[in-house]
Amino acid sequence: MTKHIPLFVLLIVYVIVGALYAVRTPAWQAPDEPAHYNYAAQVAANGCCPVIEMGDWDSAYLDTLKAERFAPDLLDRLPTIQYEDHQPPLYYLLSGLVYRLTDGSLIALRLLSVLISAGIVACAYAITLALLPDRRALALAAALLAGFIPQNLAIMASVNNDALAGLIVGLTLYLLIRYLQGARVPVWALGVAVGVGLLTKVNTIFLAGLVPLFVLLHWWFTPDRRFSELIRRLALFAVPALILGGLWWLRNVGVYGFPDVFGLRRHDQVVVGQLRTAELIAQVGFSEYLRRAVDTTFTSFFGQFGWMGLFMPTWAYWIVLAFLGVVVVGWIVAYLGLRTEVKGLSEKTSSSTQAERKPQSVLSPQSSVLSPSFLSWALLALATILAVLQYLYYNTEFVQFQGRYLYPALIPLALFAALGVDGWRRVLAWLIGDRSALAWLTPLIAALFIPLSLFMIWRVIPQLAP
């Protein structure tokens, strides 16, 4: 365990910085926080689960609240903001319990999100080590990037179900990678993970297609490829996933009618006045729409606080752009080195498995191109692509240029970024001829996001106060 002490230290630092965000962010100054809070309050008072209804969304009142920065004299109708009542219930069952124990403390509910989101940081570390077991410094860098983006901290330290959804995505990806590598991960456990995700947030639904796809690929490239075995594996996955997700879907059909299994159609009917994509394109044209989409997605992924009304200082975005430039150029170098490492890891996994005489748990030796390591990297790449497609799909109806909607792909993105930074470390290590001397350069560079996040919560975000 001593070799993981840096991770434990990092998690402590993350919880401390996250707690600062929870305490210092003015009340309700996080996207949709009043509606998520009111969902928890309803569960605490009446049990599960509330129903989204007409009147739960008051566009004029919300606009006034945001314009006046949630001034105390305007909060008399705050409990009527309930437009998140269509959300799956798991997070709110947890937060409802905290609500009851703390008499509805907003800070306590925010701290719950912080504690949950610490698991995302740990998952980034674990996934990196699963892929590259000897690269603890790189794993630490990925964990840093997954945890300390200022906007991510602002979201994870607020009342919403994003933290729990992100944790479930991270755990599912880790379990699936270990499954592909031949570890004793039962297929039903993958189904349970996906089902729990469906009970947490709709944006985890890409896992319902991603997991069985890679279970299929794993089966296809095993030496003992029997069709009955594939059916057994898919059934073991599908049964718990469908039972857990299906319970919620059947409830929604009973409440909102078929085929509104997610409650999204009722949500769309309720949120009258929310800007639609077609309306904005008609107003400003398609090219201006794309410019706004790209610009706002970038700024809000890294730092656009409150209800998208408070930007980071300009110099902070330039720092982020410089960092991304380092990452992109470093990818080229990282890729050249990664090919060698992945090949070595594949050979190590293959030889180890053959020694244990468990050929059914690994891919066929003749299928070196589709090795466990290759499939694991492909898994992370496809998870990223699906998360982006979900984001684009959501924006086909509503104008929601919020970078946080890409956070289901935060762990893969953090790892890919860490590899880009590490490419530069490899060049420097080669130049000085001492690889071990620069082993911790990559996490040190990633750790620059910690002071950036501290600056935002100490000097910028408190400006949201009325």
| 174-226 per-position pLDDT tens digit | 999 999 999 999 999 999 999 999 999 999 999 999 999 999 999 998 877 89
Helix (H) or strand (E) holding 117, with range, is helix 106-131
Q: Is the dihedral of CA 249, 255, 256, 259 positive or negative?
A: positive
- CB neighbours of 104 closer than 8 A, spacing ≥ 6? 41, 44
Instruction: Give dist(CA 28, CA 208) in Å, integer.
Output: 33
Amino acid occupying residue 424: W
This prediction has a pTM of: 0.91
Half-sphere exposure in the Cβ direction for 237 (13 Å, CA): 24
- DSSP 3-state of 12: helix
Instruction: Give dist(CA 349, CA 343) in Å, integer.
Output: 10
pLDDT over 70 percentage in the chain: 91
Q: Which of 32-41, 125-134, 361-370, 441-450 has the lowest mean pLDDT?
A: 361-370
165-171 mean pLDDT: 98
pLDDT at 403: 94
Whether the Cβ atoms of residue 316 and residue 452 lie closer than 8 Å to each other:
yes
Helix (H) or strand (E) holding 304, with range, is strand 304-305
The residue that leads in pLDDT, 356 or 270, is: 270
Whether the Cβ atoms of residue 235 and residue 188 lie closer than 8 Å to each other:
no
141-146 mean pLDDT: 98
User: Shortest CA distance to 170 belongs to which of 151, 148, 149, 142?
Assistant: 142
Q: Which of 61-70, 415-424, 427-436 has the lowest mean pLDDT?
A: 427-436
Take residue 237 and report the two structure tokens written for it.
């996955």
Residue 434 reports pLDDT greater than 80: no
Whether the Cβ atoms of residue 148 and residue 453 lie closer than 8 Å to each other:
yes
The residue that leads in pLDDT, 146 or 432, is: 146
Confidence of residue 82 (pLDDT cuts 50, 70, 90): very high
Best mean pLDDT range from 99-108, 327-336, 422-431: 99-108
Q: Is the dihedral of CA 357, 361, 367, 371 positive or negative?
A: negative
Query: Tens digits of per-residue pLDDT, 13-56?
Result: 999 999 999 999 999 999 999 999 999 999 999 999 999 999 99
Helix (H) or strand (E) holding 230, with range, is helix 227-256
- DSSP 3-state of 58: coil
Residue 352 reports pLDDT greater than 80: no
DSSP-assigned beta bridge partners for residue 310? 305
Q: Which of 5-14, 35-44, 345-354, 396-405 has the lowest mean pLDDT?
A: 345-354
User: Shortest CA distance to 32 belongs to which of 91, 85, 96?
Assistant: 85
- CB neighbours of 452 closer than 8 A, spacing ≥ 6? 148, 150, 316, 319
Residue 232 reports pLDDT greater than 90: yes
Residue 353 reports pLDDT greater than 90: no
pLDDT at 333: 72
Take residue 428 and report the two structure tokens written for it.
């420097």
pLDDT at 160: 97
- DSSP 3-state of 333: helix
- DSSP 3-state of 369: coil
pLDDT over 90 percentage in the chain: 81
pLDDT at 361: 32
